[in-house]
Amino acid sequence: MAQVSELGQLEDGEDERPKWDNKVQYLLSCIGFAVGLGNIWRFPYLCQTYGGGAFLIPYFIALVFEGIPLFHIELAIGQRLRRGSLGVWMAISPYLGGVGLGCFTVSFLVSLYYNTVLVWVLWFFLNSFQHPLPWSTCPLDLNRTGFVPECQGSGTVSYFWYRQTLNISADISDSGTFQWWLFLCMVACWAIVYLCVIRGIESTGKAIYFTALFPYLVLTIFLVRGLTLPGAAEGLTYLFTPKMQTLQNPRVWLDAATQIFFSLSLAFGGHIAFASYNPPSAVSALLFCLCRNILSLINEFDFPEQSIPRDDYPTVLLHLNATQPERVARLPLKACHLEDFLDKSASGPGLAFIIFTEAVLNMPGATGWAILFFGMLFTLGLSSMFGNMEGVITPLLDMGILPKGIPKEALTGLVCLMCFLSATCFTLQSGSYWLEIFDNFAASLNLIIFAFFEVVGVIYVYGMKRFCDDIEWMTGQRPGLYWRMTWYVVSPLLLLSIFLAYIILLAHKAPSYKAWNPQYEQFPLKQEKLYPGWVQVICVLLSFLPSLWVPGVALAQLLCRQRQKWKDAQLESGLKLQNGRHC
Amino acid sequence: MLWPLFFLMTAIHAELCQPDAENAFKVRLSIRTALGDKAYVWDTNEEYLFRAMVAFSMRKVPNRGATEISHVLLCNVTQRVSFWFVVTDPSKNHTLPAVEVQSAIRMNRNRINNAFSLNDHTLEFLKIPSTFAPPMEPSVPIWIIIFGVIFCIVIVAVTLLILSGIRQHRRNTKGPSGVDDTEDKCENTITVENGIPCDPLDTKGGHINEVFLTEEERLTPL
């Protein structure tokens, strides 16, 4: 390995590619990069936004017709041309070089907010080393006569997430201050990322055995526990009855298509979705709601203690409403429906944190489980983060921006520092809203566009026949009809239609977000607000700027060619004149 | 047995003790919730104990040392076990101010709870909030300690890696510069990687595709 790197430094521009120790490491690394926070953090909240079962249908379709064919193309072309993301596109066609640069920009944007999620995970991990866990109780108010009202309204776990972790503001334009605890965790996270990226694949290849397999063990335990508690059946039926109206929303298809880029494995995604749906806590929340209503009735009318069983509650309420409606109207009775608790107020980037911390609270030995869970989540995210950073660093190395004398460690350090400084905006009080914007806009549209160009570039520009020959040379087998059909027709068509639908949707309806506002009348439900104008401009820029590399580079190449042709033509005419003179 | 006494009391002090009267407080007990099977029945003896506890609390207030059990009046006892009470002054003409009663009860809340084997939740004085005990908090939050440990480990590891990288770099630059005649040997040995000779792979390509690229076009002009 040392000799190879020596050769790399002697020969000009010929960069060495580090190698895997064996095939298993390569496979596990792929799984490690493919399986990450996208499965555990992003999938459940998307699944829940679109009502559970219905989301799995477009996800599965997108997986079969887009995810797997694309994945195959990327692996094959990478292995065949043995170049990084930038070099591959230049090798296929110089006009497509912009795709590599665009991917580089998207990797940079994604790594910014992806690491912020890791910062949150680290924060929870650090807070798990105490008993009782800090999110199990509400803090007391100023004169210690009760709990903080915000916490009483929302519940301890939501309060810990929104107030004690994020200290979230009620509006995205209200940026607030930097949260020093998140800032510290961010410094630590980027330091850890730098530590992993210095050495590269050689060290993570060993760690991947643990980080790729261990999460499944822990999540299976969570799943089994969830399924064995009462109420699991109702929750699962709710999860599996899809709401067909949601399939008509093009946003569902876009999110399903882009979720593919974040997590390639349906089995894993489904696994997490079940675990995250957490039906038992919904049932216990329902029972708690009923009990609270019954207690209000008993206290108001001075009935003997425990005189109204839960099942009799509706009849008693009806009777009282008929005889003394004014007194009943004054009571703060809430409607208790199981669907409301399954459609919990928790949504968005915080969902995974709220759901899993609540699940951990109910398990015996909560501290140990919390440490295990968040440690596992951190390593999972870190292995994916490493892939993101490679997507940023390798093109920079390929482009040869820095002079030869500066070592690779300095470059990676500089990149990490730049990313860290850019990502500090997520530690503001409105950071969570910005992260949602980045997650929705920076990644989605651009990845669709680049995926489209990838398929078209490899199949139509590089040539389907040449590509199939390469695969046959590498694996000994020619790709079958499914592959050829999806590559030729289905994938490009699917990607194009999703892209068009999304543009239409964006033009049609202004994007909105859900804000956490304690002053809202329906608190703890989140308040739906529209993005202000300047934020919408940023959303549009995030969606389109990285894709502009593609036409930009193509145009630049065209101009370069024209200039070259013009120069050649001048040279030729000059030579002819010379020859003419001699002859 | 409860009711004749109740009527007697209300006959004498009808105006002073009434629901929502001035300076009156409502008390609510949840005995069955607290004690389950060991719940006791609420009777006049328990009421006597309650009145005694309230009188005891008032006696601890300066100026009110002369409060007797008979000065504490109970009314509107229900099956829930809830009732209203007031504390009158020695002349039994008017009730003591609510603020005094409130602070007296708050001071002795623990003793009153213990007398009935209940706690703040099961023996509720409406409009008299109880003070919760502050949670145990260490001077330095635990998470900062763990953070410090992890951060130190990371910094040490990064420093070690950078130093070893620098050392290796120095060793590499010193090595080839001293030995020129072994350069050919180097090139020969490097062509074997993982047991596979490199040359056959080279001819298959996987390097620069000369058809498309010239030297200056290898890098995208920006």
ipTM of the complex: 0.73
Q: Measure A349 CA to nearest chain B CA, in Å.
A: 23
Contact A272, A39 (CB under 8 A): yes
Q: Measure B15 CA to nearest chain A CA, in Å.
A: 22
Q: Do A198 and B158 touch (CB under 8 A)?
A: yes
Cα A74 to chain centroid, rounded:
20
Cα B134 to chain centroid, rounded:
10
- Is residue A52 part of an annotated ligand binding site? no
Most confident of the ranges A277-281, A301-305, B33-37: B33-37
φ and ψ at residue A263, rounded to 5 degrees:
-155, 120
Whole-angstrom CA distances from A299 to A289, A291, B61 are 16, 12, 31
B155 → closest Cβ in A126, A191, A198: A191
- Residue B5 is predicted with a pLDDT of 63
Cβ of B82: how many Cβ atoms within 10 Å?
Answer: 19
Contact A496, A137 (CB under 8 A): no
Contact A51, A431 (CB under 8 A): no
Taken in order A499, A505, A507, A513, is the CA torsion positive or negative? Answer: negative
Q: Do B212 and A187 touch (CB under 8 A)?
A: no
Which chain A residue has its CA at the smallest distance from B30's CA?
A305
- Residue B196, burial from CB neighbour count under 10 angstroms (0-12, 13-18, 19+): exposed
Residue A181 in 3-state DSSP?
Answer: helix
- Residue A311, burial from CB neighbour count under 10 angstroms (0-12, 13-18, 19+): exposed
Distance separating the N- and C-terminal Cα atoms of chain B: 99
Of A68, A527, A61, the residue nearest A261 (C-alpha): A68
Amino acid identity of residue B158, one-letter, is V
The tokens for A272 are: 């997490």
Contacts of B169 in chain A (CB under 8 A): 407
Chosen for mutation from B33, B76, B143 (greatest number of chain A CBs closer than 10 Å) is B143
Residue A374 in 3-state DSSP?
Answer: helix
Contacts of A19 in chain B (CB under 8 A): 193-194
Contact A515, A509 (CB under 8 A): no
Distance separating the N- and C-terminal Cα atoms of chain A: 60
B32 → closest Cβ in A82, A306, A473: A306
Residue A514 in 3-state DSSP?
Answer: strand
CA angle, A273 then A279 then A283, to 5°: 165
- Is residue A169 part of an annotated ligand binding site? no
More confident residue, B46 or A48: B46
Q: Measure A285 CA to nearest chain B CA, in Å.
A: 20
Would the pLDDT of A551 be above 50?
A: yes
- Residue A3 is predicted with a pLDDT of 34
Contacts of B166 in chain A (CB under 8 A): 407
Which chain A residue has its CA at the smallest distance from B160's CA?
A195
Residue A306 in 3-state DSSP?
Answer: coil
Interface A-B, measured as beta-carbon pairs within 8 A, has a size of 126
Cβ of A559: how many Cβ atoms within 10 Å?
Answer: 11
Chosen for mutation from A16, A80, A90 (greatest number of chain B CBs closer than 10 Å) is A90
Q: Do A556 and B150 touch (CB under 8 A)?
A: no
Distance CA A74, CA A459 (A): 12
Distance CA A382, CA A378 (A): 6
Of A168, A225, A254, the residue nearest A505 (C-alpha): A254
The mean pLDDT value of chain A amounts to: 78
Of A31-45, A304-318, B159-173, B187-201, give the lowest mean pLDDT range: B187-201
Contact B83, B17 (CB under 8 A): no
Residue A291 in 3-state DSSP?
Answer: helix
Which residues, at least 6 apart from A143, have a Cβ–Cβ distance to it below 8 Å? B131
Restricting to B residues 172-191, those with a Cβ less than 8 Å away from any Cβ of A are 172, 176, 186, 189-190
Which chain B residue has its CA at the smallest distance from A191's CA?
B154
- Angular region, A348: left φ>0, alpha ψ -120 to 50, beta rest: left
Contacts of B150 in chain A (CB under 8 A): 126, 188
Which chain B residue has its CA at the smallest distance from A12's CA?
B215
Work out the pLDDT band at A35, boundaries 50, 70, 90.
low
In a 13 Å sphere around the CA of B50, the CA atoms on its Cβ side amount to: 26
A188 → closest Cβ in B33, B134, B151: B151
SS (H, E, C) A60-127: HHHHHHHHHHHHHHHHHHHHHHCCCHHHHHHHHCHHHHHHHHHHHHHHHHHHHHHHHHHHHHHHHHHC
What integer is the mean pLDDT of B188-192? Answer: 49
The matching CATH number, chosen from 1.20.1740, 1.10.760, 1.10.12, 1.10.3470, for A21-311+339-544 is 1.20.1740
Contact A232, A274 (CB under 8 A): no
Work out the pLDDT band at B185, boundaries 50, 70, 90.
very low
Q: Is-cis flag, bond preceding A279, omega within 30?
A: no
Work out the pLDDT band at B181, boundaries 50, 70, 90.
very low
Would the pLDDT of B154 be above 60?
A: yes
Residue with structure tokens 């997986």? Answer: A63
What integer is the mean pLDDT of B122-146? Answer: 80
Identify the DSSP state of B195.
Answer: T
Radius of gyration of chain A (CA): 28
Would the pLDDT of A281 be above 80?
A: no
What is the per-residue pLDDT across A373-405, written as a single tens digit (0 to 9) for each?
Answer: 888 888 888 877 877 887 788 788 777 777 777
Of A170, A254, A258, the residue nearest A526 (C-alpha): A170
Would the pLDDT of A481 be above 50?
A: yes
Residue with structure tokens 């009782």? Answer: A132
Q: Do B190 and A302 touch (CB under 8 A)?
A: no
Distance CA A170, CA A517 (A): 5
Residue A257 in 3-state DSSP?
Answer: helix
The tokens for A311 are: 């099942």
Contacts of A473 in chain B (CB under 8 A): 204
- Residue B210 is predicted with a pLDDT of 60
Of B36, B162, B213, the residue nearest A564 (C-alpha): B213
Would the pLDDT of A422 be above 50?
A: yes
Contact A78, A412 (CB under 8 A): no
Work out the pLDDT band at A2, boundaries 50, 70, 90.
very low
Cα A227 to chain centroid, rounded:
26
- Residue A239 is predicted with a pLDDT of 64
Contacts of A192 in chain B (CB under 8 A): 154
The mean pLDDT value of chain B amounts to: 77
Would the pLDDT of A31 be above 70?
A: no
Q: Do A130 and B142 touch (CB under 8 A)?
A: yes
- Is residue A400 part of an annotated ligand binding site? no
- Is residue A457 part of an annotated ligand binding site? no
- Is residue A380 part of an annotated ligand binding site? yes
Identify the DSSP state of B92.
Answer: S
What ranges do the domains of chain A cover? 21-311+339-544
Distance CA A159, CA A164 (A): 7
